[in-house]
Amino acid sequence: MRLTIQCGIVKLTQRKKQILDREYDNLQKFLHGEDVPLYSANKQQALRYYRRNKRKEYPLSLRKDLINLRKAKSFWFLKIPVYGVRGGIKVPVKPHREFPNGELCESKIVRKRGKYIAMLTFKIDAPPLRKCSSILAVDLGERFVATTVLWQQGVMKAQFYGKEIRGIRRHYAWLRRRLQERGLLKVVHRIGSKERRCVNAVLHRVSKEIVSLADSTDSYIVLGDLKGIRQRCRKGKRLNRIVSNMPYYKLTKMIEYKAMLKGIPVITTSEAYTSRTCHRCGSEGKRKSQGLFVCSHCGEYNADLNAAINIAKKFERWMGYMPIHGAVSEPALNRFGSHLEPPEAPCESVE
C-alpha cells in the first residue's frame, strides 16, 4: 500500500527559496504554453500528469529516481531536481509524523501562501489482516457524521462523532451567501479552503478514534455502504445541501487506510432498510425527524443508533460462526411459524 506523509519545507536560505520559486513558477508558465527553462524530468512529469490550464496552479511532480531523503543530525533533507543546479538542491523538511519503513515513490511539492509543502509518498507493506472477536458497526449520517456501536460479549456500547461538522457547513454556507451578496468573490474562494481544513481536521480525529477503538477491542469495522444516498435523500433544498456537503466518502477512506495500517479488517455492507427497520422487533418504522426513529410496537429510538445496531446485526448474521457471546444469529421460529423476538442486549450510549 501507499502512504503519503506531509512535510513542511523549513529554514530555506534566500538562494534556495529563489531557485525553488523559479522552478515552480516556470512549471506554471510551461503549462500555459510558454517556452521557459525547466528541468527536463519535471517537464516530462508535467506532460504526463497535467493538462494546460491557466486558472489552476499545479504542484511540482518529482520522479522517484531523482529525489532522495536523508537524515543529518536532527533534520531530514530532501533533494529536489531543479533547472541550472547540478544534483538539485537539498532542503530541510519537517514531517508531521515519523517516516515509515518503505520505498520513497513519486512525490509532489505544493506551494500554499508562499510556503512549500512536500507530499512524500512511500510504498510500504501493510500488516496481515487479523481475525477479530467483536464488531464495531459504523453508521454515517447527517446529524452525526459517524455513529458507532461496539457489540462485544453481549453488551452494546454506542458513541457519536462529528456533530460539529454540520455546524461548520451551516456557518460557512451562511457566510458565503452574505459575501456573495456584497460581491466579495475572492473572499468566498479563500474561506472555502478554510472550511475544508476545519472539516478535514474533524474527520482525521473521528477516523483515528474509531480505528483506535476497534484496535483496543479487537473488532471488525463494519461500514454501511452509502452508494446512492444523494439520490435517495430528496427531502427539500436545505437537506439536499446538507447531504451533498457531508464528507462520507472522505471519512470512509480515512478509516480504511488507518485500519489497514493496523491490520484491522474493514467490511462494507449494504444499508438497505437499516434506517427504516426497528432493531428490536424487526418491523418497519418511520423517521419522525432526522434524528428520531419511531416504531409502532417499540416506541421511539435514536435514528442513527438504530441504523448502527441494524448494521451490526446484519453483519453478525452473515458471520454467524463468529464467537460473539450474547449476539443473536437468526430469530428462532415458534411452533406457529412466526418469529420470536430476540433478546435485547443492554446498550450504553456515550455522546
Q: Is the pLDDT of residue 6 over 60?
A: yes
Q: CA dist 300 to 63, 143, 221, Å?
A: 58, 17, 27
Residues 117 and 142 in one domain: no
Kindly give, in sequence order, each residue whose CB lies less than 8 Å from that of residue 61, ignoring residues fewer than 6 positions away.
Answer: 42, 45, 46, 48, 49, 50, 106, 107, 108
Residues 142 and 97 in one domain: no
Closest CA to 295 of 307, 308, 284: 284
Closest CA to 91 of 70, 105, 112: 70
Please indicate, yes or no, whether the overall pTM of this predicted structure exceeds 0.95.
no
Does a structural domain hold residue 298?
yes
CB contact at 8 A, 333 and 339: yes
Does a structural domain hold residue 179?
yes
pLDDT of residue 181: 84
Does a structural domain hold residue 149?
yes
CB contact at 8 A, 128 and 1: no
pLDDT of residue 320: 59
CB contact at 8 A, 101 and 124: yes
CA torsion 221-225-230-236 (nearest 10°) is -70
Closest CA to 215 of 138, 143, 130: 130
Backbone angles phi and psi of 153, in degrees to 5: 50, 45
Residues 28 and 168 in one domain: no
Model confidence pLDDT, tens digit, residues 280-316? 787 777 777 767 888 888 878 788 888 888 888 888 7
Q: Is the pLDDT of residue 332 over 60?
A: no
Residues 338 and 249 in one domain: yes
Residues 66 and 171 in one domain: no
Residues 89 and 160 in one domain: no
Q: Is the pLDDT of residue 235 over 60?
A: no
What does the H/E/C string look like for 274-330?
A: CCCECCCCCCECEEEECCEEEECCCEEEEHHHHHHHHHHHHHHHHCCCCCCCCCCCC
CB contact at 8 A, 117 and 9: yes
CA torsion 163-246-276-317 (nearest 10°) is -90
The neighbouring-strand residues paired with 256 are none
Residues 244 and 177 in one domain: yes
Does a structural domain hold residue 106?
yes
Residues 84 and 191 in one domain: no
Q: CA dist 215 to 68, 310, 347, 351, Å?
A: 34, 22, 21, 20
Does a structural domain hold residue 177?
yes
Model confidence pLDDT, tens digit, residues 62-109? 998 998 999 888 889 999 999 999 989 999 999 988 888 889 999 999
Q: Is 216 exposed, middle or buried (0-12, 13-18, 19+ CB in 10 A)?
A: exposed
Does a structural domain hold residue 266?
yes
Residue that is last in its domain, among 92, 123, 154: 123
Hey, which of 107-111, 223-227, 321-325, 328-332 has the most confident mean pLDDT? 107-111
> Where does the pLDDT of residue 9 fall: very low under 50, low under 70, confident under 90, or very high at 90 and above?
very high
Does a structural domain hold residue 129?
no
Does a structural domain hold residue 128?
no
Residues 112 and 209 in one domain: no
Considering its fold, how many domains does the chain have in total? 2
Residue that is last in its domain, among 99, 123, 147: 123
Residue that is last in its domain, among 98, 123, 148: 123
Residues 103 and 7 in one domain: yes
Alpha helices by DSSP H, listed for the chain, are 14-31, 40-49, 163-181, 185-217, 229-232, 237-245, 248-261, 303-318
Strands 89-95 and 75-80: antiparallel
Domain that holds residue 189: 134-350
Q: Is the pLDDT of residue 343 over 70?
A: no
Kindly give, in sequence order, each residue whose CB lies less than 8 Å from that of residue 277, ignoring residues fewer than 6 positions away.
Answer: 283, 284, 285, 310
